[in-house]
Amino acid sequence: MLSDRQKEIIETSIGLIDEKGIQGFTIKNLAKEIGISEPAIYRHFDSKMAIMSTILDSFKCKMNTYHQQKDYSSSISGAHQLKEFFGMIFSVFTENPSLVSVIFAEEIFQNEPLLTSKILEIQTTNEIIIKGILSKLKLDSKLANVEPEMFAIILFGSVRLLVRKWKMSGYQFNLTEKGTKLIDTILIALQ
């Protein structure tokens, strides 16, 4: 469990990355933004990478909590489960728009094996869930000739593009609304 100060450091870090990019995310800038000394930051986190790791762990925890609350084997249709799953993702980003800059920032992770493995773990978990939902759709004959793995890539790629567009536009449109239309459009195209 994070202390209140650690939560403040995490939230401020996400905001700094969003505002100034990874280059602007320094312990010096972080301390200045919060109004505490640099050594005070180090009392809560060993390094910048420890902060980044905690951000990813927090995002992963949100995703895992969502997955644990869902019964993917239930009688709810695959299409409905797919809409719910991506609706949750759109909701997380809408509530925390700065998080987009962290989750979709490959330059942050490419030279940090620990962070790369955390992102891959999040992606793998989500892909497994989506493949299971897609298998259910396949049983409903909606995806007769599509490999679930390839369709998962199409879905995640489309969602990623929409989320990045939303961020680059300065959040000028309702992400949940447009995201729902995107998923509906993809499902319609498969019928």
Query: At which residue do the structure tokens 């100060």 appear?
Result: 5
Q: What does the pLDDT look like over 108-137, one tens digit per residue?
A: 777 888 888 888 898 898 888 888 887 776
Q: Give the tokens for residue 73.
A: 């084997």
> What superfamily in CATH does domain 1-45 come from?
Homeodomain-like (1.10.10.60)
Residue 188 has a pLDDT of: 80
DSSP H or E segment with residue 19: helix 4-24
| pLDDT band for position 157 (cuts 50, 70, 90) | very high
> What superfamily in CATH does domain 48-189 come from?
Tetracycline Repressor, domain 2 (1.10.357.10)
| Cα 73 to the center of its chain, rounded Å | 24
User: In the predicted model, is pLDDT for residue 184 greater than 70?
Assistant: yes
62 within 8 A of 15, measured Cβ to Cβ:
no
CA distances from 22 to 105, 164, 184 (A): 9, 17, 35
Domain range summary for the chain, segments of one domain joined by +? 1-45, 48-189
Within 10 Å of residue 182's Cβ, how many Cβ atoms? Answer: 18
| More confident of the two residues 113 and 33 | 33
Q: Collapsing DSSP states into helix, strand and coil, what is residue 70?
A: coil
Residue 66 CA to residue 62 CA, distance in Å, equals: 6
Cut 0.85: pTM above it: no
137 within 8 A of 151, measured Cβ to Cβ:
no
- Span 77-82, mean pLDDT? 83
